[in-house]
């Protein structure tokens, strides 16, 4: 990262702000760090914390991934892109589908074209567990986005490397369950058996940073993270045990999945993470084995989902996490 110019799309969101702060602290010799977002108020608020007078290599750039001309300008002399911009709320996607398509799908293609035009060296696109076997429009747009980024490696000629990082709900981020609990006294739940993958913002940041330094293009990185039962989380956060059950919302899954059985044929266990490869060519697999000490192909039909996950957050661990965020 040192000596490189980096751009974060959606740079004023929960992840973007935290990752920018992380980069400025860890890598003292970053050439330029560009925060791209469409909200000038959030940029102004972010500047109150990360002041341009203190960080001479920091830039704020108003723009939207829907605008390819603006992207081309923003990506001038950029080496690395972290793509965090997206519309994310599942219910909103069901009622505003075209707006999610414009940002999550067409915006992704705009970014790909602009990165190729500007000879960006590496792109890490953030994905979601909802992109795996999607049943809602948000998940479908993110799956399409993932496919676009992976396919982009085929026509970049190796000059730009595109990779995906896929993970679950970020506990404590804007719009997460804990932020809703903070705002409500009377809380209802959709289903008492619901499970979700869990990752903290700090864990997500470290995962993306690792990906920038280790992924070589075409992969989908899936971390091995714990699950939690939604009922356990809400009981620990509220101190209550009885809740109104309202049923699953439109487009909502009972359990989330990050690797579907159909992905198992090209999925490899590399220790702390899984890698879904675009193919099983000898060249790619041999390269993977040279890069990582422990590489094992998962069994055919393997599925990685929040219900059958071997790792679950204990009630004690859940309470510790809640105390950190509430």
Q: What residues contact 309, with CB distance under 8 A and at least 6 apart?
A: 195, 197, 226, 227
| Best CA proximity match to 223, nearest among 322, 300, 129, 124 | 129
The CA distance from 22 to 5, in Å, is 15
The verdict on whether 122 is a catalytic residue reads no
Secondary structure element (H or E) that encloses residue 283, with its range:
helix 282-291
Name which of 82, 75, 13, 74 is nearest 43 in CA terms.
13
On the 0-12 / 13-18 / 19+ scale of CB atoms within 10 A, 89 is: exposed
Place of tokens 């705009």: 110
Helix axes 230-238, 315-325, angle to 10 degrees: 60
d(Cα 52, Cα 46) in Å, to the nearest integer? Answer: 10
Instruction: List the catalytic residue out of 17, 122, 130, 142.
Output: 130
The radius of gyration computed from the CA coordinates of the chain, to the nearest angstrom, equals 20
Active site residues: 130
């Amino acid at each position: 990262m040192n000596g490189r110019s980096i751009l974060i799309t959606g740079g004023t969101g929960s992840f973007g702000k935290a990752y920018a702060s992380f980069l400025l602290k860890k890598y003292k010799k970053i050439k330029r760090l560009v925060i791209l977002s469409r909200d000038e108020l959030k940029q102004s608020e972010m500047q109150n914390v990360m002041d341009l007078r203190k960080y001479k290599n920091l830039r704020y750039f108003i723009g939207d991934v829907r605008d390819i001309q603006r992207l081309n300008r923003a990506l001038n002399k950029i080496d690395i892109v972290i793509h965090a911009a997206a519309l994310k709320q599942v219910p909103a996607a069901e009622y505003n589908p075209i707006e999610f398509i414009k940002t999550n799908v067409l915006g992704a293609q705009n970014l790909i074209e602009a990165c190729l035009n500007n000879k960006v060296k590496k792109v890490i696109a953030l994905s979601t567990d909802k992109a795996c076997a999607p049943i809602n429009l948000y998940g479908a747009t993110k799956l399409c986005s993932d496919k676009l980024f992976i396919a982009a490696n085929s026509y970049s000629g190796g000059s730009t490397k595109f990779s995906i990082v896929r993970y679950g709900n970020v506990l404590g981020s804007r719009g997460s369950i804990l932020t809703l609990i903070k705002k409500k006294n009377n809380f209802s739940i959709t289903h008492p058996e619901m499970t979700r993958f869990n990752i903290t913002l700090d864990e997500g940041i470290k995962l993306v940073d690792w990906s920038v330094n280790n992924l070589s293009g075409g992969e989908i990185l899936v971390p091995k993270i714990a699950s939690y039962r939604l009922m356990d989380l809400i009981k620990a956060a509220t101190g209550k045990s009885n809740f109104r059950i309202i049923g699953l919302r439109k487009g909502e899954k009972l359990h989330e999945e990050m690797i579907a059985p159909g992905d198992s044929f090209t999925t490899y266990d590399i220790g702390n993470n899984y890698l879904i490869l675009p193919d099983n060519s000898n060249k790619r697999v041999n390269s993977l084995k040279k890069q990582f000490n422990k590489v094992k192909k998962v069994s055919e039909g393997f599925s990685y989902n929040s219900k059958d996950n071997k790792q679950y957050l204990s009630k004690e661990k859940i309470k510790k996490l809640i105390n950190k965020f509430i």
